[in-house]
Amino acid sequence: MTYIEFKTYIQRHLQSHPRGATWQELRDNLKLPYERPCPEWTRRLEQEMGLVRRKGCGRSLQWTLSSSSSAPEPND
């Protein structure tokens, strides 16, 4: 899986689920092949599409998009 594929899957899912999702929910629902998210890719998502990770229940982080990034991005 390339970074662009990963970004597209995450962005589409979070745009259709405004409440966000935990990494485990993203991984399971999108059938992602990674046990944990790549820190470098996560930082890029924060910069490029406004990914926000906030404390959720227990030790989990809730992944959401900032309100300014809810519009679809043009293709890279």
The pLDDT value given to residue 74: 47
In this predicted structure, the answer to whether residue 71 has a pLDDT above a threshold of 60 is no
Does 59 or 30 have the greater pLDDT score? 30
- 20 belongs to a structural domain: yes
Number of domains in the chain: 1
Cα 73 to Cα 76: distance, rounded to the nearest angstrom: 8
If one compares 58 and 61, the residue with the highest pLDDT of the two is 61
CA distance linking residue 47 with residue 39, whole number of Å: 13
Token pair, residue 43, equals 């930082």
**Is the CB of residue 60 less than 8 Å from the CB of residue 18?**
no
* Burial class of residue 26 (count of CB atoms within 10 Å of its CB; 0-12, 13-18, 19+): buried
The reported pTM is 0.79
Residue at 72 is within a domain: no
Domain residues for 20? 3-66
